Amino acid sequence: VEIGESVRGEDVYIIQSGCGEINDNLMELLIMINACKIASSSRVTAVIPCFPYARQDKKDKSRAPISAKLVANMLSVAGADHIITMDLHASQIQGFFDIPVDNLYAEPAVLQWIKENILEWKNCIIVSPDAGGAKRVTSIADRLNVEFALIHKERKKANEVDRMVLVGDVKDRVAILVDDMADTCGTICHAADK
């Protein structure tokens, strides 16, 4: 990485999507932050809409890493003064930092999109493909003044759903499925079939 112009005393914003070739992009971001810091920029803000390793925010079994905390440490050590991210998978990730973190929400844009693009939105139902998203769908449903439903998943092992149970009445309504992150998209496809 080479910074193409003087950043001395400047407020620098580095935008890195945080998806795609995740490790290459993360390493590039860290190097860019560091390059700006040692080139005497006054402040470096990393804009990371999709925070890398956000799903690994706690230990789910012994000897498992908390990779989101490691990423937070790496960004701080590289020299970031401020992080702007979006819809963190778990809001406690903000607590992994000793620098300011702005966690922006996509919900206002989602609400606007629903109102502009779904003709029968007043007769819709917001559906969460898993119980973990209940808070998210109730928030959207409340703001739209519509009902919500959720799907209870029973898993035998990670990334493999055994049985799905629909809780709520979706008959003769436009069902809008809302999820936060997609890995294989299996969950949302099964939920749509249900």
Q: Residue 118 sits in which domain range?
A: 106-193
The pTM of this model reads 0.81
Q: Are residues 148 and 90 part of one domain? A: no
Of 44, 74, 104, which one is at a domain's C-terminal end? 104
Question: At which residue do the structure tokens 């390793």 appear?
Answer: 53
* Chain centre distance of CA 62: 25
**What is the pLDDT at residue 170?**
85
CA 73 → CA 98, 113, 123, 139, distances in Å?
9, 36, 46, 32
In angstroms, rounded to a whole number, what is the distance separating the alpha carbons of residues 119 and 139? Answer: 21
- Write the DSSP symbol of residue 62: T
Kindly state whether residue 1 falls inside one of the protein's structural domains: no
- Write the DSSP symbol of residue 50: S
Amino acid at 194: K
Kindly state whether residue 42 falls inside one of the protein's structural domains: yes
Return the ∠ at Cα 170 (arms to 167 and 176), rounded to 5°: 100
Q: Are residues 138 and 178 part of one domain? A: yes
Kindly state whether residue 181 falls inside one of the protein's structural domains: yes
**Domain of residue 79, CATH code:** 3.40.50.2020
Spell out the per-residue pLDDT of the chain, length 194, in tens. Answer: 889 999 999 999 999 987 789 999 999 999 999 999 999 999 999 999 999 998 888 898 899 999 999 999 999 999 999 999 998 888 889 999 999 999 999 899 999 999 999 998 999 999 998 887 888 899 999 999 999 999 887 766 666 667 788 888 888 889 999 988 777 888 888 888 88
Of 104, 126, 141, which one is at a domain's C-terminal end? 104
One DSSP character per residue, 144-163 reads: HT-EEEEEEEEEEETTEEEE
